[in-house]
């Protein structure tokens, strides 16, 4: 029989309809070492306490919906193997966004910050007969920031965001970077102006938590530095 491991899951629980304060639920499970934290949470939900509430969809690191704080670090639950975090696994909602229930937070403030940086292609010039061409070198400039899945692991691990929720946050800056440095786009100056606001990019103090938390290994702090440099040398 395949070897199993015993894991104690400590999950921060909160049901606003009946709890005054969050509380810690403890659940002992026996799982395969290569099961993920998401599998263990499913086990709890399906076999021990069906009221446990969490958000997930793809199960494979693509949709970005199961960001949570696992042993104090923001991770996607579907990408963390139990053998790497056992025997005691502490699971909490990501910090800085309102908790709706258990591990589910309200993503709307995060999405509002995302929308604020115009995260879409802008070019009103008449399109050429075939396509707007771009060289491989021009594409490479923003390749890294195209990988973002909007999981919020970065923004909710940033002390500047914890201190002030209005800070636009690293995820929105990553999205702005993706378009600011796209040679076909024409709204870079507008995005830079938005990021130059008091709650914009200058609230970043180069802490690097965001880069360490990103499940897509995007070099977020470097991308932020590139946008800061563009702001310093642009003529708005
Ligand atoms: Fe998630 Fe990385 Fe995108 Fe931040 S930059 S939202 S951590 S994928
Ligand atoms: Fe925050 Fe990342 Fe800057 S953690 S302070 S956004 S480098
Ligand atoms: Fe989709 Fe984890 S469930 S990223």
**Which ligand does the CA of 96 lie closest to?**
2
Q: Which residues line ligand 2 (CB under 6 A)?
A: 158, 160, 170, 204-210, 221, 224
pLDDT, tens digit, 9 for 90 and up, residues 161-175: 999 999 999 999 999
**Do 225 and 150 share a structural domain?**
yes
Centre of ligand 2 to C-alpha 209, Å, is 6
pLDDT, tens digit, 9 for 90 and up, residues 101-157: 999 999 999 999 999 999 999 999 999 999 999 999 999 999 999 999 999 999 999
Centre of ligand 1 to C-alpha 174, Å, is 8
**Among residues 60, 85, 105, which one ends one of the domains?**
105
**Among residues 74, 105, 136, which one ends one of the domains?**
105
**Do 168 and 113 share a structural domain?**
yes
Token couple for 165: 């929720």
Domain membership of residue 73 as a residue range: 5-105
CA distances from 74 to 69, 88, 109, 198 (A): 4, 16, 18, 27
Listed residue (75, 88, 92) closest to 154, CA to CA: 75
Q: Are 114 and 171 in contact (CB under 8 A)?
A: yes
Q: How many domains does the chain have?
A: 2
For residue 234, name the pLDDT band (cuts at 50, 70, 90). Answer: confident
Residue 179 phi/psi, 5-degree rounding, is -95, -35
**Do 204 and 129 share a structural domain?**
yes
- Interatomic CA distance for residues 26 and 174, integer angstroms: 37
Centre of ligand 2 to C-alpha 199, Å, is 13
Atom of ligand 3 nearest to the CA of 79: 2
**HEC profile of 171-219:** HHHHHHHHHHCCCCCCCHHHHHHHHCCCCCHHHCCCCCHHHHHCCCCCC
């Amino acid at each position: 029989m395949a070897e199993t491991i015993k894991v104690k899951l400590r999950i921060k629980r909160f049901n606003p309809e009946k709890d005054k304060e969050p509380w810690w639920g403890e659940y002992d499970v026996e799982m395969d070492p290569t099961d993920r934290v998401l599998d263990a949470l499913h086990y709890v939900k399906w076999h021990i306490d069906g009221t446990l509430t969490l958000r997930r969809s793809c199960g494979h690191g693509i949709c970005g919906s199961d960001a949570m704080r696992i042993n104090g670090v923001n991770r996607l639950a579907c990408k963390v193997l139990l053998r790497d975090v056992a025997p005691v696994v502490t699971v909490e909602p990501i910090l800085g966004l309102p908790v709706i229930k258990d591990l589910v937070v309200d993503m709307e403030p995060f999405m509002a910050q995302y929308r604020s940086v115009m995260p879409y292609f802008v070019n009103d010039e008449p399109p050429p007969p075939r396509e707007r061409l771009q060289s491989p070198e021009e594409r490479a400039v923003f390749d890294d920031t195209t990988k973002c899945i909007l999981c919020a692991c970065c923004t909710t691990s940033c002390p500047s965001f914890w201190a002030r929720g209005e800070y636009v946050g690293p995820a929105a800056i990553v999205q702005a970077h993706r378009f600011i440095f796209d040679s076909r786009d024409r709204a870079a100056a507008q995005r830079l102006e938005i990021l130059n606001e008091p709650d914009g990019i200058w609230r970043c103090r180069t802490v690097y938590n965001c880069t360490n938390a990103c499940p897509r290994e995007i070099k977020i702090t470097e991308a932020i530095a590139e946008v800061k440099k563009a702001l310093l040398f642009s003529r708005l």
